[in-house]
Amino acid sequence: MAARVSAGDAGTAARILDVAERLVQVRGFNGFSYADIATELRITKAALHYHFAGKADLGEALISRYATRFADALASVDAVAAAASARLSGYADLYLQVLRNRKMCLCGMLAAEYQTLPQPMQDAVLRFFDENETWLERVLEHGRADGSLQFRGTARDTARLIISSLEGAMLVARPYGDVDRFQAVAQSLLAGLARPSAAPPSRSASAVA
């Protein structure tokens, strides 16, 4: 009996996170309340507080789950793509798939509201981007070492350029409802990193949202 209750609790918590994540990706963290979630799920606000004592707790859980899913997607990219250029293409595809679902990167949305977030959430957002930079830095160093990629400066600085460019491209493409606008930026960015002799990157099937 206890196992069934526990499973039910876990299922409710997951549904709360699903709704909250979508709301953040569409409206931003400050653009919804517990009442919005309670209304959509047809549960009481007391039930929400049972699972997540406050909105800050909910926010931390959202980032943790999203970061874990993103890390799993990057692991999938590593598993299916050996070439550095293909891994970069797979990375850009993760953003593309989120945009195709008419959403934004969760942590990108939270970064726009960074100053208003509780400290634990701020730390979690920074950790997400730091982990992305580390992964990209490793891919870029691998590509430079085998001669398939070219870029000026450090791999870390280039990793930051990639993240900033993709997040910014998503932000600008969103009001236009124009996925092609994002793709044009991503393709230009990746083309600038690939040596002319490098084979064109393959596409990854990994998804985040």
- What tokens does 90 get? 């797979």
Q: Which of 54, 49, 59, 56 is nearest to 17 (CA)?
A: 59
Strand (E) or helix (H) holding 157: helix 155-176
**Which residue, chain included where needed, has tokens 């699972």?**
51
Sign of the C-alpha dihedral computed for residues 125, 129, 130 and 135 taken in this order: positive
What pLDDT sits at residue 3? 39
What pLDDT sits at residue 182? 97
What pLDDT sits at residue 195? 87
- Any residues with CB less than 8 A from the CB of 65 and at least 6 apart, and which? 17, 21
Q: Which domains does the chain have, with CATH numbers?
A: 55-193 (1.10.357.10)
What pLDDT sits at residue 125? 98
**pLDDT tens, residue by residue, 156-171:** 999 999 999 999 999 9
Q: Which of 72, 65, 68 is nearest to 13 (CA)?
A: 65
- 151, 139 Cβ separation under 8 angstroms: no
What pLDDT sits at residue 196? 81
- Number of helices (H) and strands (E) in the chain: give both, helices first: 9, 0
Give the pTM: 0.87
Beta bridge partners of 194: 149
- Residues in the chain with pLDDT < 70? 1-8, 197-209
